[in-house]
A and B are shown apart, each in its own frame.
Chain A
Amino acid sequence: DAGVIQSPRHEVTEMGQEVTLRCKPISGHDYLFWYRQTMMRGLELLIYFNNNVPIDDSGMPEDRFSAKMPNASFSTLKIQPSEPRDSAVYFCASSLASGGRETQYFGPGTRLLVL
């Protein structure tokens, strides 16, 4: 299996621009997670989906952030408009439900820099 695929790997943009991050989970996995990693706050959950349905979006910072999962093999995280404080590494992870023992498999991350 190719693992979790994220694109782009690096993104540099200017404040105010729209940014779209993409994720392809491992085939057959029914959970998909978006995390953000910063030096100050560590790893934070932004949102997660089960069978394409958003379950918990309480970690989404504000209305500028939105996430969709139109089908089982694709998800997007959009920031509009972007701000310098959004600079971080964004990880996508997927897992297959197994009663709480499931392992989450992480993608390589998207390194976002907002100037």
Chain B
Amino acid sequence: GNSVTQMEGPVTLSEEAFLTINCTYTATGYPSLFWYVQYPGEGLQLLLKATKADDKGSNKGFEATYRKETTSFHLEKGSVQVSDSAVYFCALNPQAGTALIFGKGTTLSVSS
């Protein structure tokens, strides 16, 4: 079946540190991959996405590359800020017209 596995949190970093949140997936076919972010008390917002192998999604300094050979979509940022503190969800869309399948989320806490 289809599934998403994210690294367990919480991840605690100092401001300007490098961030990696690992995400691997299992899927049949060619899914689209997403990272969503949830700030405290809010709904989920799309952070970035990639729709085919080797695509790189990027937004607000965050990047993730769709790696079909390793079935991964790791999220990276070169220099985190306190305002990046949130919960990050990796998700896949297995095929058109279906719901997203989410990982369990990774909490990021950045201190100044």
Contacts and interface: CB of A to CB of B under 8 A. Distances in A.
Interface residues of A, number: 25
Contact of A103 (B43, B49, B95, B105): B49
Interface of B: 31-32, 34, 36, 42-46, 49, 51, 89, 93-100, 102-105
9 nearest A-B residue pairs (beta carbon): A100-B96, A106-B43, A106-B44, A43-B102, A101-B51, A42-B104, A45-B99, A108-B43, A99-B96
Interface string A88-115: 0001010001111111111111000000
B13 to A, nearest CB: 22
Contacts of B46: 103-105
A18 interface: no
Q: Is the interface of B mostly helix, strand, loop or mixed?
A: loop
Contact of A108 (B34, B42, B93, B99): B42
A101 B32 contact: yes
17 contacts: A4-B43, A33-B99, A42-B103, A50-B97, A56-B99, A91-B44, A97-B96, A97-B97, A100-B51, A100-B93, A100-B94, A101-B51, A106-B44, A106-B45, A107-B43, A108-B42, A108-B43
